Chains A and B, each alone.
Chain A
Amino acid sequence: MNFEFPEELQLLRDTARRFLYERSPASVARRVMESGENYDVSLWREMGAMGWIGASIPEEYGGGGLGRLPICVLAEELGRALAPVPFSSSVYLAAEALMLFGSSSQKQEYLPRLACGDAIATFAYVEKPGPFGASRQDTRVVDGYLSGQKLNVPDGLSADLAIVAVRADQDEPSLQIVLLAEPGVSRSSVETIDPSRGHARIDFQNVRAEPLPGAFGDKAIQMVLNRAAILMAFEQIGVAQAAMEMARDYANDRFAFGRSIGSFQAIKHKIVDIYVAVELARSNAYFGAWALESEAVELPIAAATSRVAACDAGWIATKENIQVHGGMGFTWELDCHLYYRRAKLLGLALGSGRDWKRKLINHLISPEMLGASNLAHKDGSCGF
């Protein structure tokens, strides 16, 4: 049994935590939120120079070729630091889509620029409220030109290119690469519940698009979302962990009725419940990391399990952190709301916990899964 990150990644975690503690305290996310910047440009450049952005991209395309585990570690630390950078859009979503479905010339063209951070990419798929379905999309491609509208595209204003989901009920692949400087693209900033991360509405009117040749049907889009959900779970856990520590420290320092409020069981038990949710989410995300790293058949199940647990932990931790802080927790001045905003933003960005619960059960009862190899179920309990 080796269900733990390898030693060298523990070192990466320490390095990343120290760097971000100095370079991206919560005041940086607050600055981006208040100033209307799209992201912290110099932080992003430094991350590129350290090789973080391209860690999972193969060496032949200018990356570190280190697989997905370093991304899991970095994601958690970036979440903890509320880092206002387009890491999730470029790395978890766009780079993964290119690596899964891109032709070798597409990979050659785009991945090296993404790997060093010179270019930013995003994933544009949302069109309507509610759960995503490729057949519910209105965006279409006609003769290589794409038209439609995408809502709430993360980093939509700062991205250089987007992987765009289009209607799946035709022969055309359902994922298309669009360069956002092309004529016919118009972008407008969207005000979200978390302005420390930029989002945009993007209108496409007969914009030249390039299909990702391997990406057919809803399944292709779900494959990208599954991979991103696991990486995002680590970022969500980082946010939740930071909020839990904030609540714990405040409960120990704050005195009322002549004693630290953490000594009251009502507060103590609340913080323990946060801890429990975070640890359950972390254990599930470890399973996700294993599935991603080993390309296991259980990946869709591991992704949904990671996602559901991480959404739960993010919500419990950040709302109860405000509660522990009392009235001060509701002020603009304290950082509690930054965690609360970010946790919910990340908890909705790839589809909500509600959507992923349904996906999870449908995977669990699907005929393919019932016969699937099942490495992780040695102890015989609650398998599927």
Chain B
Amino acid sequence: MDFKDSPDEVEYRAKCRAFLSSTAELRKPGEVRGYRRGEDGPNVVPSARAFQLAKWKAGFAGITWPRDWHGQGGTPIQQMIYDQEEAEFSTTVNAIGLQLQVCVPTICRWGTQEQRDRFAPPALRGEEIWCQFFSEPAGGSDLGALRTQATRVGDEWVINGQKIWTSLAHEADWGVLIARSDFDQPKHEGLTFFYLSTKTPGLEIRQIKQMSGSSHFNEVFFKDVRIPDSQRLGPVNGGWKVAMSLLMGERYTLHDEFGPSYKELLALARELELETGPALQDPGVQERLAEFYVKAQGLRFTRYRAMTALSQGKAAGPEASIGKLVTASLVQEAVSYGLELMGSVGIEASKNLPLDGIFQEAFLDSPALRIAGGTDEIMRNTIGERVLGLAPDIRVDKGIPFRSIPSGSR
């Protein structure tokens, strides 16, 4: 047992490091990784595009994508090493990077070589940004309940309906779309998958103001939007399978620490005085800090187990699936405890507070972690059914035409 890289991995890590040092600044002490501060600023997308272009030039864009997708033909362990190294630098690429990892491989997997050649290079260079028109007001956790309508008219499809929670739609050039092409089929069997330009007539994008005050997501309205049949991916009524291949990619990302956690709590506790003296000497504080530390370390070493499997050319074990579920609540609870330690001063939302007020900002941001990319409840269903083999829930919407499925008023 050791934590050492293989000789190949040492070499690759050094290459990543050299590129990053020449392009980005090292993360400053106390700067919380993955934290969204400033994400809505006007410079974020341009700087993310510029960084993506630098990655492309240096051979770090699409590390695991095959050569005929214009990727680097590398391995998952190389991707993980790159991600680890990038995490030590201050970069803002996350926003466009995630969509890039999810949307474009779907085009490449289901499209023609011509489509790969058209779409992969500009996306990898950061010239074209992608988004996914997936969730709907009536189809969030139950994505298969979506109602946006796709009607075939000659060589075209006409789209009517509404999407929501579309990250980055207001910045994106292209989007992938799943819509209902047959209301008389059971829910998963009447869906078809497309891609389209966000400039297509009839498409209206409105930003959603989040509870944290920032606007990362959008709602998108489709009114008689026309898409040529050549922009369909996969068979007619076969869109569910295409969408699933995309979402599996999203779930596989091995989440790192995200937002304030043990380390920030420790830094806070070092500054605070409680009734009995320094906070770090208080038995109650010690116990809570230890609990956060143990959970954060458990997550880290779970990632190392996955990394070991990838390094040996195997798939990560099922335990890798707990990362997102555990991280989301860990962050929210750590943030709440940080505020509690500050007491009445903690109500102030100001950057003059300990640790620049990140606890206050993350307090308003952290509920999203437990919802986005699969809610805690959906994650538990998935782990329970796919990893532990527990029976699926009884489904009242199974096997009946979509139009006969009961729908509530919200």
Q: How many A-B contacts are there with CB distance less than 8 Å? A: 186
Q: Is the CB of A276 within 8 A of B377?
A: no
Report Cα–Cα, A276/B324, bound state, in Å. Answer: 11
Q: Across the interface, which residues of B come within 8 angstroms of A268, CB to CB?
A: 380-381, 384-385, 390, 393
Q: A308-B291, A361-B280 are in contact. Are A380 and B88 (CB under 8 A)?
A: yes
Least CB separation from B388: chain A residue: A248
Taking CB atoms, residues of chain A closer than 8 Å to B387 are: 275
| Cross-chain contact B261 with A275 (CB below 8 angstroms) | no
- A325 interface contact, C-beta 8 A: no
Q: Which among A263, A358, A375, A378 is the interface contact of B391 at CB below 8 angstroms?
A: A263
Among residues of B, the one whose C-beta sits closest to the C-beta of A260 is B391
In contact, A309 and B298 (Cβ under 8 angstroms): yes
Asked if residues B287 and A279 are in contact (CB atoms below 8 Å), the reply is no
**Which of B1, B5, B263, B389 makes the CB contact (< 8 A) with A383?**
B263
Please tell me if B305 contacts chain A, counting CB pairs below 8 Å: yes
* B297 CB–A CB distance under 8 Å: yes
A18 on interface, CB distance cutoff 8 Å: no
Query: CB within 8 A of A263: which of B27, B294, B388, B390?
Result: B390
Residue from A3, A276, A281, A356 in contact with B305 in the complex, judged by beta carbons closer than 8 Å: A3
Residues of A within 8 A of B390 (CB): 248, 251-252, 260, 262-263, 267-268, 271
Q: Does B262 contact A (CB under 8 A)?
A: yes
Interchain nearest-CB distance for B60 vs A (Å): 17
In Å, the complex CA distance between A294 and B289 comes to 27
B84 touches A281 (CB 8 A): no
**Chain B contacts of A59 at CB under 8 A?**
none
Which of these, A1, A267, A294, A364, contacts B293 with CB under 8 Å? A364
Complex: chain A residue closest to B385, CB-CB:
A268
B residues 276-291 touching A (CB-CB < 8 Å): 280, 283, 286-287, 289-291
Least CB distance from B9 to A in Å reads 8
Segment 369-410 of B: residues with Cβ below 8 Å from A = 377, 380-381, 383-385, 387-394
A6 to B308, CA, bound (A): 12
- A148 nearest CB across to chain B (Å): 28
**CB–CB A360/B319 < 8 A:** no
B262 nearest CB neighbor, chain A only = A382
Cα–Cα, bound, A282→B257 (Å)? 19
Cross-interface CB contact of B294 among A4, A308, A376, A384, cutoff 8 Å? A308
| Residue among A294, A312, A360, A384 with max Cβ neighbours from chain B (10 Å) | A360
In whole Å, how far is A85's beta carbon from the nearest beta carbon of chain B? 26
Distance of B287 from chain A, by nearest CB (Å): 5
- Residues on B with C-beta less than 8 A from A356 are 290
With A and B bound together, what is the CA distance between A245 and B354 in angstroms? 45
A384 and B266 within 8 A (CB): yes
Instruction: Return A380 CB to nearest CB of chain B, in Å.
Output: 5
Closest chain-A Cβ to B30's Cβ sits at a distance in Å of: 13
A290 to B1, CA, bound (A): 6
Residue picked from B2, B9, B261, B290, most chain A C-beta under 10 Å? B290
* Cβ-defined contact, A1 with B381, below 8 A: no
Interface contact A309-B280, CB-CB below 8 Å: no
Number of interface residues of A (CB under 8 A): 59
CB–CB A357/B287 < 8 A = yes
Q: Is A365 an interface residue (CB 8 A)?
A: yes
Looking across the interface, which residue of chain A has its beta carbon closest to that of B325? A276
- Does A143 have its Cβ within 8 Å of any Cβ on chain B? no
Q: Does A354 contact B (CB under 8 A)?
A: yes
A354 partner residues in chain B, CB cutoff 8 A: 287
- A304 vs B290: C-alpha distance when bound (angstroms): 9
Interface residues on B, range: 35 or more
Tell me if B307 is interfacial: C-beta within 8 Å of chain A.
yes
Which A residues are in CB contact (< 8 Å) with B301? 3, 283-284, 286-287
Q: How far apart are the CA atoms of A376 and B303 in the complex, in Å?
A: 12
- Taking A283-B301, A379-B300 as contacts, is the C-beta distance between A3 and B291 under 8 angstroms? no
With the chains together, A379 CA to B299 CA distance in Å? 12
Query: Contact check: which of B294, B302, B384 meets A360 at CB < 8 Å?
Result: B294
- Which residue of chain A has its CB nearest to the CB of B395? A263
Name the one of B300, B307, B388 contacting A272, with C-beta atoms under 8 angstroms: B388
Kindly state the separation between the CA atoms of A312 and B297 in the bound complex, as whole angstroms. Answer: 14
Q: Which residue of B lies closest to A259 (CB)?
A: B394
Task: Return A297 CB to nearest CB of chain B, in Å.
Answer: 14
Contact B383 A275 (CB under 8 A): yes
Chain A positions within 8 Å of B305 at CB level: 3-4, 283, 286
Which residues B209-248 have CB closer than 8 A to chain A? none
Contact with B along A250-263 (1 / 0, CB 8 A): 01100000011011
Structural contact, A360 and B3, CB atoms closer than 8 A: no
Q: How far is the CB of B294 from chain A (nearest CB, A)?
A: 5
Interface centre among A5, A382, A383 (most CB of B within 10 A): A382
Q: A281-B298, A309-B294, A376-B3 known; A265 and B377 CB under 8 Å?
A: yes
The closest CB in chain B to the CB of A283 belongs to: B301
The reply to whether A362 and B286 form a contact with Cβ atoms under 8 Å apart is yes
Separation of A159 and B297 alpha carbons in the complex (Å): 37
Contacts A1-B5, A269-B377, A381-B256; A283 near B319 (Cβ below 8 A): yes
Please name the 3 residue pairs, one residue from A and one from B, whose CB atoms are nearest each other, closest first: A280-B298, A357-B290, A283-B301
Binding site for B on A (CB under 8 A): 1-6, 69, 248, 251-252, 259-260, 262-265, 267-269, 271-273, 275-276, 279-284, 286-287, 289-290, 293-294, 304-305, 308-309, 312, 354, 356-358, 360-362, 364-365, 375-376, 378-384
Q: A287-B301, A365-B266, A380-B84 are known contacts; what are 6 more A-B pairs with Cβ within 8 Å?
A: A69-B1, A263-B393, A279-B322, A280-B302, A290-B3, A379-B303
